[in-house]
């Protein structure tokens, strides 16, 4: 049969429920169609059919696609998913019979056909065989925002759409990291969704919309909704923070965050959430520049050498009721701002100010991942900076770690004012390590000038090391191998030879 002899398949979005929100094109397609198909539960009532009811004619052939199961159990050998797959195949065959007979088939669905819509299962099975057109519809997301009368997103904000069927921990992580969100498919998932809202700190912002634009519509704050009253056709909305700034907290807090070694790809969801919800950002200007500018958020940049003053400033802001994020590079607890903040916070004047530390990807882990797995066994982390401790202490620790045959991660190896420490460290380590010990030089890892090289310990050139470089010195067991594609990798075995 030629394409010209076949009928045309339409996926028709009907909007969120109010028939007046159907598009002109949707009405036209229904009028042209020979067959109107719609999904329904076993009770036979179809929301899609009720929306389009006044546009259906007596001569329309109706094809109710009645689900064999919804969420209940089934004795199908393939379980719930197997039962649905068989159902979709059977439905597709029924519609294909009409299309093969030259009839035009319109599969109508509430909302938009490609937005969690049932139509997509027919599309995947039929669109490659028949001429097909999809008619978009107004989604429940847009309808919910309209009924709440509040913008979903503004400027550079990010909107995240989530199914409530995700695990609660996954919902929590995604809610914490986004600016605005809509959680679909509530009903039985509502307790987990509410728990995720609370755990992510978004519950106070969250709104609830049930049956938007339909009979029985209800809106409320999410926190006040009784879980037993929530139907499937309800959504949770966390709207724009710019348009709906969170209320000032009863008391301020300081959250010390790590931005990782470079840009946004290295941020954890928890850190993203803390940065977006803060009223004030405090930090070394270079690290603050990694954080996107947000309307209404104050930024307090300073030089890298005033850590105690920066910590005191942040705590003073929090004491006045501000939500302060102290921004650090890498992990804030590894040679970074967490120690400075906690040291000042231990003073009597600040003991009542809440302080939290959120972990970040530290430079050693970032460089190690780029090189392979040099930190696969025991290792020590040492800073070569003698600005806050004497070189004699550094040298003693290097000897102890080298004697113990630990892999070494050396932070702050050099700067414009410190040019000799790397050479001294190399000399000391060569007393305990073989000249061909692999050394990873990771510079600007994750950044635009990223460079990860592997050299022999004997060939380590101090002139090639600066403040943006981290050194990973292998143990006696660390191996460097060149793979078939030419890439050289380094790893340290987890097994250690017996004495």
| Residue 23, in any domain of the structure | yes
* Cα angle 347-349-350, degrees, rounded to a multiple of 5: 75
The CATH number of the domain holding residue 344 is 3.40.1010.10
| Residue 243, in any domain of the structure | no
CA pair distance 88, 94, nearest whole angstrom? 10
Q: Does residue 351 sit in the same domain as residue 382?
A: no
Strand order in the sheet with 218-221: 159-163, 180-184, 234-238, 207-210, 218-221
The CATH number of the domain holding residue 368 is 3.30.950.10
* Pairing status of strand 355-357 against strand 280-284: unpaired
pLDDT > 90 in the chain, percent: 79
User: Residue 2 pLDDT > 60, yes or no?
Assistant: no
**Paired tokens of 429:** 């380590």
Tally of domains within the chain? 4
User: Residue 347 pLDDT > 60, yes or no?
Assistant: yes
Q: Does residue 461 sit in the same domain as residue 351?
A: no
Q: Does residue 269 sit in the same domain as residue 303?
A: yes
Q: Residue range 339-353: average pLDDT? A: 95
Q: Does residue 391 sit in the same domain as residue 465?
A: yes
**Paired tokens of 66:** 């009645």
Question: pLDDT at position 76, please?
Answer: 72
| Residue 131, in any domain of the structure | yes
Q: Residue 196 belongs to what domain range?
A: 142-238
Could you report the per-residue pLDDT of 386-439, keeping only the tens digit for each?
888 999 999 999 999 999 999 999 999 987 777 799 999 999 999 999 999 999
Nearest to 375 by CA among 384, 366, 383: 366
What is the total residue count of the chain? 499
Q: Residue range 218-247: average pLDDT? A: 92
| Residue 126, in any domain of the structure | yes
Out of 336, 357, 378, pick the residue that ends a domain: 357
CA pair distance 337, 306, nearest whole angstrom? 10
Question: pLDDT at position 390, please?
Answer: 94
Q: Does residue 348 sit in the same domain as residue 472?
A: no
CA pair distance 320, 450, nearest whole angstrom? 41
Q: Residue range 15-33: average pLDDT? A: 97
Q: Does residue 186 sit in the same domain as residue 293?
A: no
Question: pLDDT at position 484, please?
Answer: 86
pTM, entire model: 0.82
Out of 211, 238, 265, pick the residue that ends a domain: 238
Residue 293, C-beta contacts closer than 8 angstroms, at least 6 positions apart:
299
Per-residue pLDDT band for 78 (boundaries 50, 70, 90) equals low
CA pair distance 435, 429, nearest whole angstrom? 9
Q: Does residue 68 sit in the same domain as residue 127?
A: yes
Ranking 102-111, 148-157, 295-304 by mean pLDDT, the lowest is: 295-304
Q: Does residue 71 sit in the same domain as residue 176?
A: no
Q: Does residue 315 sit in the same domain as residue 266?
A: yes
| Residue 244, in any domain of the structure | no
């Amino acid at each position: 049969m030629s394409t010209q002899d076949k009928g045309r398949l339409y996926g028709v979005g009907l909007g969120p429920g109010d028939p007046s929100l159907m598009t002109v094109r949707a009405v036209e397609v229904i009028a042209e169609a020979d067959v109107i198909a719609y999904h329904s539960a076993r009770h036979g009532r179809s929301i899609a059919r009720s929306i389009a009811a006044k546009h259906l004619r007596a001569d329309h052939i109706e094809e109710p696609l009645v689900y064999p199961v919804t969420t209940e159990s089934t004795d199908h050998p393939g379980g719930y998913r197997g039962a649905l797959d068989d159902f979709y195949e059977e439905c597709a065959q029924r519609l294909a019979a009409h299309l093969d007979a030259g009839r035009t088939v319109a599969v109508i669905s509430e909302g938009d056909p490609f937005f969690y819509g049932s139509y997509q299962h027919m599309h995947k099975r039929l669109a490659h065989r028949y001429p097909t057109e999809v008619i978009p519809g107004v989604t429940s997301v847009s309808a919910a925002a309209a009924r709440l009368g509040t913008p979903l997103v503004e400027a550079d904000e990010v909107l995240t759409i989530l199914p409530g069927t995700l695990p609660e921990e996954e919902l929590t992580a995604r809610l914490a990291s986004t600016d605005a969100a809509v959680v679909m498919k509530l009903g039985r998932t509502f307790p987990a969704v509410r728990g995720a809202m609370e755990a992510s700190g978004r519950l106070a912002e969250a709104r609830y919309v049930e049956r938007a634009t339909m009979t029985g519509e209800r809106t409320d704050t999410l926190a006040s909704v009784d879980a037993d009253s929530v139907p499937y056709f309800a959504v949770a909305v966390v709207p724009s923070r710019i348009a709906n700034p969170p209320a000032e907290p009863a008391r301020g807090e300081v959250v010390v965050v790590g931005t990782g070694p470079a840009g946004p790809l290295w941020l954890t969801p928890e850190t993203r959430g803390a940065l977006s919800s803060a009223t004030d950002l405090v930090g070394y200007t270079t690290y603050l520049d990694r954080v996107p500018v947000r309307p209404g958020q104050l930024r307090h940049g300073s030089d890298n050498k005033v850590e105690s003053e920066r910590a005191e400033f942040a705590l003073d802001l929090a004491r006045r009721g501000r939500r302060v994020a102290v921004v650090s590079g890498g992990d804030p607890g590894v040679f970074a701002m967490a120690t400075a903040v906690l040291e000042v916070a231990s003073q009597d004047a600040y003991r009542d100010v809440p302080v939290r530390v959120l972990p970040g990807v530290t430079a050693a882990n970032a460089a190690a991942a780029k090189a392979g797995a040099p930190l696969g066994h025991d290792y020590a982390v040492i800073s070569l900076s003698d600005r806050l401790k004497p070189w004699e202490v550094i040298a003693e620790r290097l000897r102890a770690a080298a004697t113990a045959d630990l892999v070494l991660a050396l932070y702050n190896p050099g700067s414009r004012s410190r040019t000799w420490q790397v050479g001294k460290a190399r000399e000391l380590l060569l007393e305990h390590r073989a000249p061909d010990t692999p050394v990873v030089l990771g510079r600007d890892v994750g950044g635009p000038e990223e460079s990860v090289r592997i050299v022999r310990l004997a060939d380590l050139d101090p002139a090639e090391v600066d403040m943006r470089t981290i050194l990973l010195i292998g143990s006696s067991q660390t191996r460097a191998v060149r793979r078939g594609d030419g890439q050289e990798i380094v790893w340290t075995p987890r097994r250690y030879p017996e004495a």
